[in-house]
Amino acid sequence: MDQNNSLPPYAQGLASPQGAMTPGIPIFSPMMPYGTGLTPQPIQNTNSLSILEEQQRQQQQQQQQQQQQQQQQQQQQQQAAVAAVQQSTSQQATQGPSGQTPQLFHSQTLTTAPLPGTTPLYPSPMTPMTPITPATPASESSGIVPQLQNIVSTVNLGCKLDLKTIALRARNAEYNPKRFAAVIMRIREPRTTALIFSSGKMVCTGAKSEEQSRLAARKYARVVQKLGFPAKFLDFKIQNMVGSCDVKFPIRLEGLVLTHQQFSSYEPELFPGLIYRMIKPRIVLLIFVSGKVVLTGAKVRAEIYEAFENIYPILKGFRKTT
């Protein structure tokens, strides 16, 4: 089951619409994939969710395998050597459509899985394993998935706008040119707020998922279009994603700031949480004594997940024992 993680399990087709996931970097080397049934899935996500579903499928297949392994134990060991060669070559070729990959993994793990009860920590020597991420002990994944709380995106409507008419004619729009040079418009579904500038550029905030953000931006563009402006929908880009989660144990922030001095900033006088600036991926995490973690600064969902998987073993090391 470890072979799944040593290569990008998602082909090009699975990349989220906003741009590729960081290429070549697998979602972390966990033994247990995401979505083990503990985590509520986001509402209606098309692309990035498929990875979770795929890993769920893989996990179910592995559970089936382990039952079959007891019968086919010796055969597997004989085929191990043969399959290892096949596996390394086929892994490099597995950039193909997503539909094939689960099957391939299925067959590979059947043949090369070792004795039940001993999960290998690392794949066979044939497998190229490129640990790009910091060396974490090969322990289980957290099983916790950060939930997205806010998505900020921008879009260009492609035409100059007259903010006064928009403010006068649109519902739920406020405009105070002395205070701020944009119209602030709100819609109820998805619950979001948009700042619409006279240049035609718009910022949409408050959505809980990438699709919702895009949908909301389209709705605002529609409103502007109905008001008579030739609005288009150019360069939709997600600028920032904020996620949060709970590790469910208290954390010793003083210890964390001592060991990770170059990344952390903990000033109780200024802010009660520790500000951890992770270099790779470039995410800022706010870590609190209660165990709640806020992750921000991501352009794609995978960065949030990756950052959390990076920080989780570190936080476990600073768990409060009392």
Partner 1 sequence: MYCKFIGKCSESTSCDRVIDVGSEWRTFSNDKATKDPSRVGDSQNPLLSDGDLSTMIGKGTGAASFDEFGNSKYQNRRTMSSSDRAMMNAFKEITTMADRINLPRNIVDRTNNLFKQVYEQKSLKGRANDAIASACLYIACRQEGVPRTFKEICAVSRISKKEIGRCFKLILKALETSVDLITTGDFMSRFCSNLCLPKQVQMAATHIARKAVELDLVPGRSPISVAAAAIYMASQASAEKRTQKEIGDIAGVADVTIRQSYRLIYPRAPDLFPTDFKFDTPVDKLPQL
77 three-state secondary structure: helix
283-322 exposure pattern, b = at least 16 Cβ within 10 A, e = fewer:
bbbbbbeebebbbbbbbbbbbbbbbbbbbbbbbeebeeee
Rule CB under 8 A: is residue 246 a binding residue for partner 1?
no
φ, ψ of residue 85 to 5 degrees: the values are -65, -45
Rule CB under 8 A: is residue 269 a binding residue for partner 1?
yes
Residue type (1 letter), 43: I
Would you say 202 or 285 has its CB closer to partner 1?
285
The residue count for binding partner 1 (CB under 8 A) is 18
Would you say 10 or 266 has its CB closer to partner 1?
266
**Contacts for 134 with CB less than 8 Å, ≥ 6 apart:** 280, 310
Would you say 201 or 277 has its CB closer to partner 1?
277
Rule CB under 8 A: is residue 267 a binding residue for partner 1?
yes
| Least distance to partner 1, CB of residue 287, Å | 11
Stretch that binds partner 1, among 10-18, 85-93, 98-106, 250-258 (CB under 8 A): 250-258
State both tokens at 153: 């995106």
Strand-pairing partners, residue 275, are: 265, 286
Residue 116 has a CB neighbour count (10 Å cut-off) of 13
| Least distance to partner 1, CB of residue 254, Å | 6
Among residues 71, 61, 70, which one has the least CA distance to residue 105? 61
- Give the side-chain half-sphere CA count within 13 A for 31: 11
Would you say 222 or 282 has its CB closer to partner 1?
282
Rule CB under 8 A: is residue 261 a binding residue for partner 1?
yes
Please, which of residues 273-302 interact with partner 1 by CB under 8 A? 288-290
Binding mask 145-174 for partner 1 (x = CB under 8 A): ------------------------------
Binding mask 113-142 for partner 1 (x = CB under 8 A): ------------------------------
CA distance 84 to 212: 43
| Least distance to partner 1, CB of residue 318, Å | 13
User: Of residues 145, 257, 298, 300, which one binds partner 1 by CB under 8 A?
Assistant: 257
| Least distance to partner 1, CB of residue 285, Å | 16
82 three-state secondary structure: helix
Q: Which residue has the tokens 């880009």?
A: 237
Would you say 13 or 272 has its CB closer to partner 1?
272
Site of interaction with partner 1 (CB under 8 A):
250, 254, 257-258, 261-262, 265-270, 272, 288-290, 320, 322
